[in-house]
Amino acid sequence: LGGSDTVEFPIKFTPKYPGSYHCQILLKSSSDIRVYEIECVVNAEQTDAQLEFLTPAFQAVTQEIPITNKSKEDWRFEAVLEGHCFHGPLVLNVPVGETVQYPLTFKPVAE
């Protein structure tokens, strides 16, 4: 191909859900056999969200945030909370096909 030793091999991939997709491509010729392994990772669309907490001083309020796993693998999240007065589990496990509530708590220490 004009001095180039590469060949384009277009692949169309149309996933229905977020997750990790594995594929093997087997190429054969009369003098060679090659197997290529491909992994495609599909992320869900990013959605911006905003939570507003209204509570009297020193009184905690908790908001349950639903996390739905539509992939084919169990998920394990490690939560990193930034900001004062916010609390929640450091780890959240979401099994395949389930929705788990993440309890985010805001407990103000002043007005």
Query: What confidence tier does 2 reach under pLDDT thresholds 50, 70, 90?
Result: low
pLDDT at 99: 94
How do residues 35-63 score in pLDDT, each as one tens digit?
Answer: 989 888 887 776 677 778 788 888 999 99
Residue 93: inside a domain, yes or no?
Answer: yes
Residue 53 burial (10 A CB sphere; 0-12, 13-18, 19+): middle
Is residue 70 a part of any domain in this protein? yes
Residue 12, pLDDT above cutoff 80: yes
Query: Is this prediction's pTM over 0.75?
Result: no
Asked whether 78 and 63 are in contact (CB, 8 A), the reply is no
User: Does 73 fall in a domain?
Assistant: yes
Which residues span the domain enclosing 98? 61-106
Separation of alpha carbons 72 and 62, rounded Å: 30
Asked if residue 38 belongs to a domain, the reply is no
Q: How confident is the model at residue 33 (pLDDT cuts 50, 70, 90)?
A: very high
